[in-house]
Every structure is written in structure tokens, then in C-alpha cells.
Amino acid sequence: MIAAEDDPPTGINDLSAHSDLSLSEATYTFRQRASLSWTASDESDFKRYRIRSLSRPGGGSVPSVSSFTHKAFINSRASSVYLDPALYGDGREIFYVVYPEDTRNGSTSTALGATYCNVSNVISWTKPQHGLLALDDDTPNTMAEVTATIRPTATFTIAACKRVKVVWGDGGWGFTQSLTSAGGYFKREHRYSKATTFSLRSQIESLEGFRSGVRTWATSVVVAN
């Protein structure tokens, strides 16, 4: 009798996540999703990639991969990029791993036969989270300068943030340009040219380029002539 062995595929060790840039700046989901990439497997009997993930409130140690759940299959060996379509809540930390499977070795109990293969490196990213927004004047005259100051939360600190996108409600928007002298807030100035009421929205962006969901602030700007 001849016994045959088939070792599991070589594990992936360069899995990485980047903010999704496939949409335009005008789209609020721009930079809110994660795009994963890795080096393609070179297995001659390649079957598929299995992606598993975990989402939880930010903070704490790296969880065991045994607690991750199935996210997606990719059946083409050359397809080594995956866009996670989920829009996670602000403050969530999302973890990913990838398992390359061949025709004999699978990452779970499947029809592939064996029930093991090598797991990739574990990666994660955190969805940024807003704290407070304040205006120096919410009843300005037209063409008067209005300054908005925005800060992140105690858990998602200023050190983890790159900038804030402020949408002023009159068709104008811009990015924060500097920190306050106290160092705990971002700020952005604007001038309204029309007398009416506007609602402000904003998104905070992390150093890694991921953005929070859109926040509409309860305080409106009432512009007078």
C-alpha cells in the first residue's frame, strides 16, 4: 500500500488592511471600509482563500483566531484583494485573518477532507469615533468667520487622529487645518454668504486613513443678514 501526504498550503504572512479609496471624496462611505491585500498563494492544487473576521468594541488584547467567524471565500488564486463591504459602527475594532486552502486541506470541517491549514498574520483597524463639536458663534452674520472645534473621544485620542472633514451645509466643506493651543481639539473656519439655517456634519479620520461614520450635529447655525 502506498500512503500519500499533502501538506497544507504555506501560510500568508503579509496580510494588510487599507482604507477603501475606490469611491470619490463626495461619497460619505469614502475611506469607511477596509480593503485587504496579501501575496497570492503558489500552491499547485489551490482551492480557495477563506477570510475570517471579528468585530468588537476597541481596546484589549488580540483575540484568539478561534473566535473569528467566516467572512468570505475567494476562489481565484490570483485574486489577492478583498473589499469588506461592511460599514462598522464608530469605535469598533475589526480583526481579519486569511487561510489558503487546497483541494485536500481546509480551514474548517468541509468536504475538502482534512480540517486544518495555516492561518495568516492577524491584522486589525479601528473605526474612528467623534467626541464633541463646538462653535464659537452659532448665530453669525453673513460673511462673519465661524470656527468649529472638534475633538475625538477619551478612548480614540487626538494622537490617533489625522484630521476632521467638516461639511458646513451650504455646499462648502473642508478639512481641519490645525490644533487649538490646548492641543486637544481640531478646528476649522468658515464664512457663510447666505442668511438661513444650516446643519453641520463631520467625519473624523485616523492616522491610518480610515474615517468615522457621518455625524450630524444637533446645534444648527442660524445665519443673519
163-203 pLDDT, tens digit per residue, is 999 999 999 999 986 565 556 788 899 999 999 999 999 99
pLDDT attached to residue 117:
77
198 near 221, Cβ under 8 Å? yes
DSSP structure class, residue 224: B
CATH code of residue 140: 2.60.40.650
Domain count, the chain: 2
Helix, strand, or coil (residue 52): strand
Q: Which residue segment(s) compose the domain that 216 sits in?
A: 130-222
**90 and 122 belong to one structural domain:** yes
- Whether the predicted pLDDT of 2 surpasses 50: no
CA of 114: how far to CAs of 53, 71, 104, in Å?
22, 21, 6
pLDDT attached to residue 4:
43
Of 104-108, 170-174, 208-212, which gets the smallest average pLDDT?
A: 104-108
Provide mean pLDDT across the span 15-25. 95
pLDDT attached to residue 107:
59
Q: For residue 85, which of 70, 68, 72 has the smallest C-alpha distance?
A: 72
**119 and 96 belong to one structural domain:** yes
Among 78, 97, 126, residue at a domain's last position: 126
Among 106, 126, 146, residue at a domain's last position: 126
- What pTM does this model have? 0.87
- Whether the predicted pLDDT of 104 surpasses 80: no
% pLDDT > 70, the chain: 88
Is 3 within the bounds of a domain?
A: no
pLDDT attached to residue 225:
79
| Cα–Cα dist 60/91, whole Å | 13
pLDDT attached to residue 182:
57
pLDDT tier, 112 (very low <50, low <70, confident <90, very high otherwise): very low
**173 and 93 belong to one structural domain:** no
- Whether the predicted pLDDT of 103 surpasses 70: yes
Provide mean pLDDT across the span 82-90. 96
